[in-house]
Structure 1
């Protein structure tokens, strides 16, 4: 049998933390290995327990979720941990900062339990997750903040079709939606996404979307 996905839950509200843990632990393929109420404790526990995924709130005492995410999954971290940010605050600023910090996903707390569980599985599997409304917000109001400097190289090492897939990813489309838009199979889209990540040396779809913004490919 495949070992269950090990999850650390970090939220400063005990009721929410317990609720998440109860929902997650009820799944045969998921296991809560720890709980905590602030970002500093999340970093310490993650180092000690080595979870597969950290479910991270944003607004917390001692150390907020964004900084905790940066310490666990940011650039230069020797053994990055996958972080799924889950918050009540549907604000562009949090989305932008969470992605910059290295989060692999971003969900709202009012999402259905099934979406949280699928989000954990998606992130654990090495993919990225953004709620569609969150992705479209990022494409909109904060796109200008992540565009490159004027002297950034314009050439992108992708084929025309790969570039087309990247732009659809940046527009918040799922693999199924990209397949329907381009009239190709779902498996073909997965192949294109894999090639894009490999060619651009990116970790996941989130980094691919941010790359598109930074290179000025999103208008």
Structure 2
């Protein structure tokens, strides 16, 4: 069971994030109101993932996260998922790029769906970095920090239709719903899903979405 701590300034936001993050493989162990309280909590407790909601990522927030990660014991490695409402301030792009470059910090827009959030959590727990492409492109096109997006490693690339089906899986749609969205039969959907699982060398829909995120095939 992966331990998750929620950090957001509003109690209603924290409750909503906790509900959206609820999964069979996760346990919400704490909810705190700001980065300072999160850092204090981590001094005495352990979590595998911190989900942090911020209105924007500035220099102050970047430095606080850096310090928090640096002060953790090596055996208490922490992954961070940031949900940003207003993006990254211009003066903080360099430090934000360094944060993402560590591999421990992932950044996505705050308006992702509940299912997309759960897929992101699953991917991070599996060891993937899933920062949103729009964020990484902005950061690393304007930063000197060395960084390269994950190279696709698929032995057998997915077809255009299979990528469409994979993205519908990421949205939590059933086979019937996918068939309706793509105007194909349920049997065809099942065929595509079987092909996706085989090509990605996974055994479940959740694993397929996690690998799809890693390969840049799934849009969060």
Which bracket does the TM-score occupy, shorter chain normalised? 0.5 to 0.7
Aligned match for 1:12, one of 5, 9, 22: 9
Distance 1:180 1:109, change over 3 A: same
Distance 1:68 1:92, change over 3 A: closer
Please report how far the alpha carbon of residue 100 of structure 1 lies from its aligned counterpart in structure 2 after TM superposition: 2.0
The CA deviation string for residues 152-201 of structure 1, in whole angstroms up to 9 with x for no partner, is xxxxxxxxxxxxxxxxx82566555x9749xxx757xxxxxxxxxxxxxx
4+ residue runs over 6 A deviation:
none
Measured in 2, the distance between the counterparts of 1:54 and 1:81 equals 7
> What SS does the corresponding residue of 2:108 show, helix, strand or coil?
strand
Aligned match for 1:67, one of 40, 63, 67: 63
Equivalence map 1:68-217=2 (5 Å): 68-74=64-70, 77-79=72-74, 80-91=77-88, 93=90, 96-101=94-99, 102=102, 103-140=104-141, 142-143=142-143, 145-146=144-145, 170=148, 175=153, 180=157
Long gaps (5+) in structure 2? 159-198, 202-213, 215-220
Distance 1:96 1:54, change over 3 A: farther
Please report how far the alpha carbon of residue 34 of structure 1 lies from its aligned counterpart in structure 2 after TM superposition: 0.2
Instruction: Check the 8 A contact 1:92/1:138 in 2, yes or no.
Output: no
Measured in 1, the distance between the counterparts of 2:78 and 2:138 equals 25
Q: Normalising by structure 1, what TM-score?
A: 0.58
Partner of 1:52: 48
The CA deviation string for residues 118-153 of structure 1, in whole angstroms up to 9 with x for no partner, is 22222222221111211221232x23x336xxxxxx
Partner of 1:195: none
Distance 1:175 1:108, change over 3 A: farther
Distance 1:24 1:99, change over 3 A: same
> Relative contact order (alpha carbons < 8 A, sep ≥ 6): 1 or 2 greater?
2
Measured in 2, the distance between the counterparts of 1:130 and 1:81 equals 16
Long gaps (5+) in structure 1? 148-168, 188-204, 206-219
